Amino acid sequence: MIQMTAIYVLWLREMIKFVRAKSRIIGAIAMPVFMLVFLGLGFRRVEFPGLPPEIGYIQFLVPGIVGMTLLFTGAFTGISVLMDRQFGFLKEIMVTPASRISIVLGRIAGGATTSIIQALVMLFLSVFLGFVLPSPLMIAGSVIIMLFISINFICIGLILSSVMKDMHGFNTITNFIIYPIFLLSGALFPVQNLPVAIRIFSYLDPLTYGVDALRGLLIGYSVLNVYSDFTIILVTSVILVSASGYSFNKGEKI
Amino acid sequence: MNTINLNGLTRRFGDLVAVDNVTLSVESGEVFGLLGPNGAGKTTIINMLTTLLAPTSGNAIIAGHNIKDDPEGVRRSIGIIFQDPSLDTGLTGRENLNFHAMMYGIDVQERKKRIAEVLSVVGLVEKADVLVENYSGGMKRRLEIARGLIHYPKVLFLDEPTLGLDAQTRRKIWDHIKNLNKKYAMSIILTTHYMEEADYLCGRIAIIDHGKIIALDTPAGLKTRLEGDVVTLGFEGKTELFIPALKEKPWIREVLLHNSTLTITALDGEKRIPDLFVLAQESGINITSVNLRKPSLEDVFIHLTGSSIREEDGTLHSHMHAGMRRRMMK
């Protein structure tokens, strides 16, 4: 049973904390900013085979970095359930009448909002590097894509947090799950340039389709049709929301 | 009327039986204590009753809701103050209370009224808009108590409410708990391993060890039923007649002679002191001093479980206690 109030309370809590934690926000967008600036400037003259020559590397890179921002902030929002568990707040939520699925959805709502805000900040900052913004309609469309990308990775974070007991495994998770998702997604270079053996993994990565859809809307170039990309991340979202609801519902790890 | 009924409640973790077939009921308006050493199963019982943990077998009904079939109904009827802190330290006290009240679907006007009310109950009105990370331990505890009350629960669970607090704060929290029980007429279940706490607050106490209830009675009942009173007599004269005369009496449990003092365990000790004087006179003994001591819950606990309640917490305090006990046993 979905309770809107519970979702709203958890979303509001996330917003208040987001506004208060200014240093955390700066920390969270520092890395994508560096990636954007240094990769963007350093590789600006690179020409990838198969890519239309009118698309410069900055144009190509920005949607990838937006995707990366969504991946990292989303996954860490999911894993931050561990912090709530550590500080006992999770238990407090669990004894209120809120249903488990509402708790998961509230977390997703809060996390997705903050992720999208950060991704949009990245998008507008990139203008200073020469990124040409598309029409407002396309930006609005890309926000919908951003929403589903963040749902995917918040859920992956939530599932990981139910497997992990504390924050000790955090670096392992980052190095062996989050980075591979990022590097395989084609955020930095066209996936088609990878050897087939590795490319297979790229096609299993939801971020590949997310970044491709963002490119389709933001720079007018995508490998797949944007609607196909969207359908794929929509389907993976539904699967991952159900899976994280299930992993949260077992109720054994308090 | 009972607000809580536990029926054969059992929880296993692998081979370990943490809670073993516990059956008990708590009346409405009662303060009921679960007393036991660390690891006795108290918190596991609380976690099952608050629907955080599913029982392996058995069942419990809380305020008319079954913990297995209607967990959301149970959660709507209860408030809980956890053993470990469970506040969001990045929010203010008022925000913590407000979010909690929203979860129970209380409307804005009513929320404002109740927040003001519970803040004054726990004496945190002035600190309400300070971030919780700047609160002291006692203030956090009081805020948690306020939060547990805001939705007017029928049953309040307190899991080690004063663990780790200083003596003064502990005393204040005890008074809060007593007042709450009076003011809201709610049933309170508290777990503790402090004897004084159980003694001071609870109408009835269940002593739990290894997941089982080994005794259930009022604090006074537990003490009289198990030990009698300890009377220490200083005397002059010979004891050849006195000791056998004492041992004949049915109300005497135990007589120990040590130098020129007699330690007597007697039922209803305070009423038997005149009898002791009469017996002493008849046996040609001159009593020089009398001391009467009620057995403490700790005496009862040692008697029942064969171990001190503090044995497992490994603090300096517990070592001191263990040492004292060893000396007393000699």
Answer for the pair B157, B189: CB distance below 8 angstroms, yes or no: yes
Q: How far apart are CA B62 and CA B80, in angstroms?
A: 13
Burial of A49 by CB count in 10 Å (0-12 exposed, 13-18 middle, 19+ buried)?
Answer: exposed
Give pLDDT, residue A203: 94
Q: Phi then psi for B25, rounded to 5 degrees? A: -130, 150
CA distance A98 to chain B (A): 7
Residue A54 has pLDDT above 60, yes or no: yes
Q: Does A95 contact B99 at a Cβ distance shorter than 8 Å?
A: no
ipTM of the complex: 0.84
The C-alpha of A113 sits at a distance from chain B's nearest C-alpha, in angstroms, of 19
> Residue B189: left (phi > 0), alpha (psi -120 to 50), or beta?
beta
Are residues A89 and B75, on separate chains, in Cβ contact within 8 Å? no
- Contact call for B91 and A17, based on CB within 8 A: yes
What ranges make up the beta strands (E) of chain B? 2-13, 16-27, 31-35, 57-62, 65-66, 78-81, 155-159, 187-192, 204-209, 212-217, 229-236, 252-258, 261-266, 286-293
A9 shares contact with chain B (CB less than 8 Å) = yes
Q: Which residue of B has its CA nearest to A99?
A: B72
Q: Which residues of B touch A12 (CB under 8 A)?
A: 99
Q: Per residue, what are the HEC states of B160-192?
A: CCCCCCCHHHHHHHHHHHHHHHHHHCCEEEEEE
Higher pLDDT, A187 or B317: A187
- Which pLDDT does position B321 carry in this prediction? 39
- Does A234 score more than 60 pLDDT? yes
The C-alpha angle with vertex B62 and arms to B60 and B68, in degrees rounded to 5, equals: 50
Residue B84: closest C-alpha in chain A: A88
Check: CB of residue B107 under 8 Å from CB of residue B151.
Answer: no
Q: CA dihedral defined by B73, B77, B82, B85, rounded to 10 degrees?
A: 90
Query: How many Cβ pairs within 8 Å bridge chains A and B?
Result: 69
CB of A8 within 8 Å of a chain B CB? The answer is: yes
Burial class (CB in 10 A: 0-12, 13-18, 19+), B268: exposed
pLDDT, averaged in runs of 10, over chain B (330 residues): 89 91 92 87 91 92 92 90 88 95 93 92 90 91 89 89 79 83 87 86 91 90 74 84 85 79 82 87 87 77 64 41 40
Q: Is A238 on the interface with B (CB under 8 A)?
A: no
Test B76 with A89 for CB contact under 8 angstroms. no
Nearest by CB to A6, from B50, B82, B103: name it.
B103
Among chain A residues, CA nearest to B55: A252
**A17, A93, A254: residue with CB nearest B90:** A17
Nearest-CA distance from B300 to chain A in Å?
Answer: 34
Q: Does A25 touch chain B (CB under 8 A)?
A: no
Higher pLDDT, A100 or B20: B20
What pLDDT score was predicted for residue A252? 46
Average pLDDT, integer, range A14-39: 88
Q: With 70 as the cut, is the pLDDT of residue A178 above it? A: yes
Residue of B nearest to A3 (CA): B103
Sequence-distant (≥ 6) Cβ neighbours of residue B224 within 8 angstroms: B267, B268
Q: A254 in contact with B at a CB cutoff of 8 Å? A: yes
pLDDT value of position B327: 41
Contacts with B103 from chain A: Cβ below 8 Å: 5-6, 9, 93, 96-98
What distance in Å separates the CA atoms of residue B241 and residue A125, rounded to the nearest whole number? Answer: 101
* C-beta atoms of A91 and B105 within 8 A: no
CB contact, 8 Å: A6 with chain B? yes
Please give the structure tokens belonging to residue B181. 């029980």
pLDDT surpassing 80 at residue A253? no
Q: Minimal Cα–Cα distance from A88 to chain B, Å?
A: 4
Residues of A with CB below 8 A from B102's CB?
5, 8-9
Per-residue pLDDT averaged across A167-173, rounded? Answer: 80
Q: How far apart are CA A44 and CA B300, in angstroms?
A: 81
pLDDT at B163: 80
**Which pLDDT score is estimated for B325?**
40
Strands B57-62 and B204-209 come out as: unpaired
Question: Do residues B114 and B101 touch, judged by C-beta distance below 8 A?
Answer: yes
B-chain residues near A250 (CB < 8 A):
none
Determine the straight-line distance between the first and last CA of chain B, rounded to whole angstroms. 47
Residue A153 has pLDDT above 50, yes or no: yes
